[in-house]
Structure 1
Amino acid sequence: MVTIKEIASAVGVSSATVSRVLNYDPTLSISTKKRQAVIETAEALNYETPRNRSRAAAQSLGAGLKIALVHFLEPAQELADPYYVGVRLGIESRCQALKSEVVKVFLTGNPPEATILEGASGVVAVGHYYGEELEWLRRHSRHLVFADYAPAGDVDDSVLSDVSLAMTRLLEAIHSMGFRRIGFVGWVDAFYGPDNIYSERRCRTYIDWMTRAGLYDAELCMVERMTPDSGYTLAKAMLSRPNPPEILITCNDNMALGAYRAIHEMGLRIPADVAVASFNDIPVAQFLGPPLSTVKIPAELIGETAVDLLLERLAGREVAKKVILGTEIVWRGSTPASADAAASSKKA
């Protein structure tokens, strides 16, 4: 294998210079002739960067593997949620590129035969898992990666976006627009039960931030067990109250679709009477009337990264890794334009 030192010797420059040239360092001061000589010498000697070597190794490692994709939603529920479809497609496309086989398992109700997981090289679990389900996955998986979820502790590989940070940035931007009566509708996290219905991360962050800002009103925070009509029923109930919110944040874009329906039925205008903002940026968000402002969460990249984490485990990595992918606020017509809001939409 050709080394940077050998390229440096052939060109007559330092190893550090070769490294900076091959990594396209824009701050490096070097003549065009020398830079070209380094690149041409590296190509002539078939030098591969560590990144390219790792990519080639991953391609080789992935060929012929069997990966179990375990989903926490039933098939019909997943198809109704474009965000989780995106996560799955990311997993499947990455496996296809690696020539790995994907076996889909839907972990709802009674668990499937453990031999399905035990016979796979590794498992990518999509969604949230608690208690017995979580321990069942850990017990029967050779290698396990969680996509869009990170269990408590530091023993599991996981990849997700920080929706708490995203909610904070969204609230800061909305506040900068002049909104003070900010409503939130979301769902109850099934794990925590009826005694802690506000435990979902976006909801908890909303309550904490609004409380610190001196703006929290319990009547403007409504949650329920998730159903296809949750966004509609919660938005209609909140907007029917005597002092409704000026802007409504929904926990995801599916709920925003229901909120839009409720708002239109009530004869209200978006954003003139009530603005709307949400999470996920599913494909239909940009085609609503008006288009929906929403936090973009990279669903497909979450799925792809989960597969890459699994390959790292198979290659020998022993320390658990948690990957946090950035988010971005995409401002559209459902909220008023604001320079401050645009500034707050930097990636998290």
Structure 2
Amino acid sequence: MVTIKEIAAAVGVSSATVSRVLNYDPTLSISTKKRQAIIETAEALNYATPRNRNRAAAQSLGAGLKIALVHFLDPAKELADPYYVGVRLGIESRCQALKSEVVKVFLTGNAPEATILEGASGVVAVGHYYGEELEWLRRHSRHLVFADYAPIGDLDDSVLSDVGRAMTRLLEAAHAMGYRRIGFVGWVDAFYGPDNIHAERRCRTFIDWMTRAGLYDPDLCMVERMTPDSGYTLAKTMLSKPNPPKLLITCNDNMALGAYRAIQELGLRIPEDVAVASFNDIPVAQFLAPPLTTVKIPAELIGETAVDLLLERLSGREVAKKVILATEIIWRGSMARPAEAEEPAGTRLAARD
């Protein structure tokens, strides 16, 4: 494989100059003609950057591997949550591109045969795992990566999005648009037990941010153990209170679907009577009436990145890595857009209370 030194010799410049050109260093002072000569020579000699060499090595390494995909939802429950379908599809598509075999395992009750994991080159675990399940995965996996979850500590590779930070951005935008009476419905994270029902990251961030802003009302923060009807029942209860929220944030889009149904049954309008915002951006979100404002979490990219982390481990990386992928607020009709709330200079935005 051609080296920077060989390119430098062919063009008649130093290796440092070649390196800076190929890394697009904007501070380098060099003639256009010389820069073009370096780039053309590198292309002619088929030079590959270290990143591209690593990518090619990963492609070669992935061929023929057996990867166990462990899911915390059974097929029926996963089908009801398009977000986790997206994570799984990301894993499968990346493995297909690498020519790796995928073996699916559902850890939804009794533990499957440990030999399935032990016979795999590595394991990608989708979802949340605690206690005995977590230790079982660690014990029987040669290499283990978590997708959409990061266990406490720094033992494991993981990839996820920071939903706490996303909640903060959403609340900051809502506050800037004048919303003050803001409610939240979500679920209880089973790991923390009945004494800490508000520990789920979105919920905890909501309470902390609203408290600092002097806006927190315990009556407008409701959680329960997740069921298919949680969004509907919690939203209907909250919106039936004497002083309901003007903005309702749900923990995910599935709960928002239930909230829409509750709002319609109560004879309320979205967003005139109550705005709605959520998380995940599942495909149906854009087709609701009105379309749902939601925080887009890159489900498929989370799955793809988890496989890439596993390949890095197989290539010899020893230090655990945690990858945080960015989120984006997708503004749609269920909540006033920021541009619609811009105020002329010198005026004050009226609170939506």
Give the TM interval when normalised to the shorter protein. over 0.9
Verify: 1:18 aligned to 2:18, yes or no: yes
Aligned to 1:262: 262
> In structure 2, what is the equivalent of residue 163 of structure 1?
163
> Is 1:174–1:341's contact at 8 Å kept on the other side of the alignment?
no
Aligned amino acid, residue 228 of structure 2: P
Map Cα deviations across residues 204-229 of structure 1 (whole Å, 9 max, x no partner): 11011111111110000000111111
Higher mean alpha-carbon deviation, 327-336 vs 118-127, is at 327-336
Q: Which amino acid aligns with 1:120?
A: A
| 1:323 aligned counterpart, secondary structure | strand
Distance in 2 between residues matched to 1:250 and 1:46, nearest whole Å: 51
TM-superposed deviation, 1:307: 0.3
Q: Which runs of 5+ in 1 are unaligned?
A: 343-348
Q: Distance in 1 between matches of 2:256 and 2:180?
A: 20
* 1:161-200 mapped onto 2 (5 Å cutoff): 161-200=161-200
Question: Corresponding residue for 2:120?
Answer: 120
Q: Confirm or deny: 8 A CA contact 1:125 1:147 kept in the other structure.
A: yes
- TM alignment of 1:287-302, pairs within 5 A: 287-302=287-302
Letter in 1 for 2:194: P
Quick one: distance in 1 between partners of 2:11 and 2:2?
A: 14
Counterpart of 2:337? 337
TM-score by length of 1: 0.95
Task: Give the Cα separation in 1 of the matches to 2:192 and 2:316.
Answer: 35
Counterpart AA for 1:9: A
Aligned ranges for residues 1-348 of structure 1 at < 5 Å?
1-26=1-26, 28-339=28-339
- Whole-angstrom CA distance in 2 between matches of 1:239 and 1:150: 34
CA distance in 2, matches of 1:16, 1:258: 60
Deviates more, 1:281-290 or 1:141-150: 281-290
Look up the equivalent residue of 1:58 and give its one-letter code: A
Equivalent residue letter for 1:46: N
Alpha-carbon distance, 1:267 to partner: 1.1
Deviations 1:161-211 (A, max 9, x none): 011111111111111111111000000111112111111110011011111
Matching residue's letter, 1:306: A
C-alpha root-mean-square deviation of aligned residues, in Å?
1.4
Q: Deviations over 1:123-142 (max 9, x none)?
A: 00000000000000000000
CA distance in 2 between counterparts of 1:140 and 1:47 reads 41
Residue 319 of structure 1 and its aligned partner are, at CA, apart by: 0.5
**Structure-1 separation of matches of 2:278 and 2:25:** 38
Q: In percent, how many aligned pairs have the same letter?
A: 89
CA distance in 2 between partners of 1:134 and 1:93 (Å): 25
| Aligned mates of 1:143, 1:271 — CA distance in 2 | 47
Give the drift of 1:43: 1.9
- Bigger shift: 155-164 or 43-52? 43-52
Contact 1:70-1:124 within 8 A present in 2 as well: yes
SS of structure 2 residue aligned to 1:170 = helix
Measured in 1, the distance between the counterparts of 2:139 and 2:52 equals 34
Q: 1:131 to 1:340 in 2, by over 3 A?
A: farther
The answer (yes or no) to whether the contact 1:145–1:306 under 8 Å persists in 2 is yes
CA distance in 2 between partners of 1:170 and 1:341 (Å): 15
* Separation in 2, partners of 1:226, 1:86: 20
* Partner SS, residue 244 of structure 2: coil
8 A Cα contact 1:173 1:340, kept in partner: no
Unpaired runs of 5+ in structure 2?
343-353
Task: Report deviation, 1:90.
Answer: 0.4
> How far apart are 1:287 and its partner, in Å?
1.2
* 1:65-118: CA deviation from partner (whole Å, max 9, x where unpaired): 000000001111101111000000000000000000000000011000000000
SS in 2 for 1:307: helix
Post-superposition shift, 1:17?
A: 2.7
